[in-house]
Amino acid sequence: MDDQDAVNRWLAPAAGGGRGADQPSFNAPTDGDDDPYAPTARYIYDNRGGAAKGQTPVGNGGGVGETAAGWGAGSLEPAGGAAPFAGTAGAWGPRSGAGGVAPDDGQPGYGQPAYGQGGSSPYGPYYGPIGGSGLPQVAATPGQLAAPGAPDPTGGYSGFIYVPYAPFPPGTPPAPSAEEAMWQGIMSLAEPFAPLTTLGLFASALIVVLGAFFFGLAVNEGDWASGVHDAGVAGIALAAAYVIGMAVRLVIGRRAITALLLALVAAVLLGATGSGALVLSDPLHLVQARAQEAAHDYGGAATEYQLAGRSHDVARVLDEWGETLVKDHVYDAATQKFGIVITTYSSYPVEFHRAWSDLLSAYATWLGSATAATQLPYDGIVLDLAGYVHDPGCDTACQGTLLGLEARAHYQEGVMLAGQQDYPNAIVQFEDVATHFAHSAFAPRAHRAAASAYYAYGEAQMRGNPCSDAVPTFKTLASHYADTPEGAKARAALRTAVEVYGHVLAPPSPHMTIYLSRGVSLPSYFSDDYGAALGSDGWYTFAHVAPGTYYWSAGIPGVGQIPEVNLATGAPYPLSVAPLCPDQLNSCAFDQGYCI
């Protein structure tokens, strides 16, 4: 509200007592006055309106400013050069000898102190004339008149009393309530925006749209379409916000054509941008897919083709991706790409058959790249090959190729394991080839490799404890791999003489001879195939004894040859000499004339 509006709120229609239609009322507000503009209007009139224009304020029935009280009509100076504040203390008006009057409309009067006298007013500090026309104004507080020469807060207007209305000091508006503040904020939208504000709002909207685009890129791993989609949504939302804002400003009074056109243009631009972005989001998948394929970003291209609904292009890109990986010797990942095409995109014959051809070639190249230091994931390869054999897309020729590759994988895994001295598992792989892939080119190679693994394993067992564990290994080698050099060596080793030793507890004579006989006929026949003297420590040793079954006996001077017998049956006790390893016989203790 401007100053004139505030004054107009206090303008009253002409009434008795000399009040004019264009003259302000000087009614003092009471506690119940609900006019929030009264203090402002009173101040403005006193300091800007009436006083500045030289108007003569009037009251009801002879109040302040009437000519009968000594004030000159049309002048703010006392009439006839009367001294200021000539009235009686306790009344309003100039001191001209006439009695003071009540403020207005019979409201309670408050005494205006004479010059230099004390007094009070419920309306706080006041200002009044000090001397004749043109003398400076001074300020006074209730009970004290200011000294001459004090600054004039009323702007230099003389001859008029100013009473600011409590509780607000001059020039300070009352603090608005929360509801008033809200409505004031809403109503401020009716005011014109500065050009920079209008431009800033539109620039901010564009920044939000751009930010939504980059946010979509970040969240969706660089997907252009997702970023454009998010930007489109943001553009449409901001366009709607512009329309709503324009409607609100229109309702509350902002009807300037320029403002409406600017808001409409901004809304149309944002809406068109958002709608266009949404329309273009799907085609962008295809654009980005082709760009990524050209840049050999096959993973990103496959994803974008899938989002664009181009499944045959996905299959084609996967084939290209796998072929590139084969060139880079990344065979495991390459076979996975071909496998996806075979199992998922069989409805596209060109890509499907291309994937099969690439798959078989990749496995052959992969297996052919193996060296002694290479450890391929043979278990996974074998598992994959076995699965592909049963695929409906694999014909007879394909199955033959796959079986050959599987046999090769088993064989090469066996070679790898044998090189790691894991002979038992290497033998499993070799025998698997010979058993399940007998018609494979790798079957004869696996047979020979198994023999070598058996022999190496047997030798390792002979060096271990117990050495006798090597016996079954050599026997298997001699029986199942007799056609191999290792089989022949195993047979010879099984016939080779071994060392045999033993111990006699408490021998009856220090000069005994121990015998091993193949044939015995009690009471007196012993073939005595091997003989060894008993040492002073009770131990004896046969350096070379052919593996087989023998009977033990001891020759005692003056007594004869005493056999080891089974006391329960009385029969000679047979002893077995095992092949390959030194053999320790059971200790013998003489009891009742026999070694038991």
Q: What are 211-244's pLDDT values in tens digits? A: 766 776 566 556 666 666 666 677 778 778 767 7
Task: Give the length of the chain.
Answer: 596
Q: What angle do CA 44, 48, 54 make, to 5 degrees?
A: 120
The stretch 479-483 carries a mean pLDDT of 94
Which position has the higher pLDDT, 516 or 505? 516
For 227, half-sphere exposure in the C-beta direction (CA atoms, 13 angstrom radius) is 13
In our burial notation (b when 16+ CB lie closer than 10 A, e otherwise), range 412-433 reads bbbbbbbeeebbeebbbbbbbb
Dihedral angle at the C-alpha atoms of 270, 275, 281, 284, nearest 10 degrees?
A: -80
Whole-number pLDDT of residue 169: 56
Whole-number pLDDT of residue 529: 94
Helix (H, G, I), strand (E, B) or coil at 19: strand
Read off the tokens for 191: 């005011």
Other C-beta atoms within 10 Å of 169: how many?
11
Other C-beta atoms within 10 Å of 267: how many?
20
The answer regarding whether domain 311-462 maps to CATH 1.25.40 reads yes
Q: Is pLDDT of 104 > 60?
A: no
Q: Is pLDDT of 549 > 50?
A: yes
Under the banding of pLDDT at 50, 70 and 90, the label for residue 189 is low
Q: Which amino acid is at 592?
A: Q
Query: What are the beta bridge partners of residue 564?
Result: 595
Whether the Cβ atoms of residue 427 and residue 453 lie closer than 8 Å to each other: yes
132-185 residue pLDDT tens:
444 444 444 444 444 445 455 444 444 444 444 445 555 566 677 777 777 666
Whole-number pLDDT of residue 120: 42
Q: Is pLDDT of 327 > 80?
A: yes
Read off the tokens for 333: 């990942």
Distance CA 584, CA 592 (A): 24
Whole-number pLDDT of residue 356: 93
Whether the Cβ atoms of residue 356 and residue 342 lie closer than 8 Å to each other: yes
Under the banding of pLDDT at 50, 70 and 90, the label for residue 52 is very low
Which position has the higher pLDDT, 257 or 423? 423
Whether the Cβ atoms of residue 216 and residue 229 lie closer than 8 Å to each other: yes
The stretch 338-361 carries a mean pLDDT of 93
Q: Which amino acid is at 458?
A: G
Distance CA 19, CA 16 (A): 6
Domain limits, the chain: 1-170, 184-293, 311-462, 497-595
Strand segments, DSSP code E, in 75-224 are 126-128, 138-140
Whole-number pLDDT of residue 558: 82
Whole-number pLDDT of residue 410: 94
The stretch 413-429 carries a mean pLDDT of 94
276-321 residue pLDDT tens:
655 556 666 777 778 888 989 898 888 878 888 889 899 999 999 9
| Residues sharing a CB contact under 8 Å with residue 297, sequence separation 6 or more, in sequence order | none
User: ω into residue 167 within 30 of 0, thus cis?
Assistant: yes
Query: What are the beta bridge partners of residue 116?
Result: none
Q: Is pLDDT of 537 > 70?
A: yes
Give the CATH superfamily of 497-595: Carboxypeptidase-like, regulatory domain (2.60.40.1120)
Q: Is pLDDT of 12 > 70?
A: no
190-213 residue pLDDT tens:
666 677 777 777 777 778 777 766
497-595 and 311-462 share a CATH fold: no
